[in-house]
Amino acid sequence: MSLVKANNESIQRAAEIIKHGGLVAFPTETVYGLGADGLNPIAVAKIFEVKKRPSFNPLILHIADKGSLKKFSPTKSEKIDLLIEKFWPGPLTLVLPKSEIVPDIVTSGNQTVAVRMPNHPVALQLIKASGTPIAAPSANRFGHLSPTEAKHVEKYLGDKVDIILDGGKSSVGVESTIIQFYENEFYLLRPGGLSKEEIENEIGKIKTGKIDSHKPSSPGQLSFHYSPNTPLKFFNKKLLDKDKKIGALFFKENKIDFTFAEVKLLSVTGDLREAAANLFSHLHELEKNNLDLILVEPVEEKGLGRAIMDRLKKASNKLE
Q: By CB under 6 A, is residue 28 in contact with ligand TXA?
A: yes
Site string for ligand TXA, 154-193 (x = CB under 6 A): ---------------------xx-x----------xx---
Q: By CB under 6 A, is residue 104 in contact with ligand TXA?
A: no
Q: By CB under 6 A, is residue 33 in contact with ligand TXA?
A: yes
Q: By CB under 6 A, is residue 113 in contact with ligand TXA?
A: yes
Applying CB under 6 A, the span of 68-76, 113-121, 156-164, 263-271 interacting with ligand TXA comes to 113-121
Rounded least distance, CB 146 to Mg ion, Å: 5
* Measured CA distances, 8 to 4, 123, 164, 260 (Å): 11, 12, 14, 54
- Indicate the residue whose CB is closest to Mg ion: 138
Q: Which residues pair with 296 in a beta bridge?
A: 234, 249
Q: By CB under 6 A, is residue 114 in contact with ligand TXA?
A: yes
For ligand TXA, the closer of residues 225 and 245 by Cβ is 225
Q: By CB under 6 A, is residue 109 in contact with ligand TXA?
A: no
Q: By CB under 6 A, is residue 267 in contact with ligand TXA?
A: no
For Mg ion, the closer of residues 17 and 34 by Cβ is 34
Site string for Mg ion, 131-160 (x = CB under 5 A): -------x----------------------
Rounded-to-10 torsion of CA 266, 271, 273, 279: 10
CA 196 from centre of chain: 24
Rounded least distance, CB 112 to ligand TXA, Å: 4
Q: Which does 30 bind (CB under 5 to 8 A by kind): ligand TXA, Mg ion, none?
A: ligand TXA
Site string for Mg ion, 93-132 (x = CB under 5 A): ----------------------------------------
Q: By CB under 6 A, is residue 43 in contact with ligand TXA?
A: no
For Mg ion, the closer of residues 112 and 138 by Cβ is 138
What number of chain residues touch ligand TXA (CB under 6 A)?
A: 26
- Indicate the residue whose CB is closest to ligand TXA: 137
Q: By CB under 6 A, is residue 31 in contact with ligand TXA?
A: yes
CA neighbours closer than 13 Å in the CB half-sphere of residue 194: 26
**What type of residue sits at position 141?**
R
Residues in the site for ligand TXA, rule: CB under 6 A?
A: 28, 30-31, 33, 57-60, 91, 93, 95, 107, 110, 112-114, 116, 118, 136-138, 175-176, 178, 189-190
Residues in the site for Mg ion, rule: CB under 5 A?
A: 138
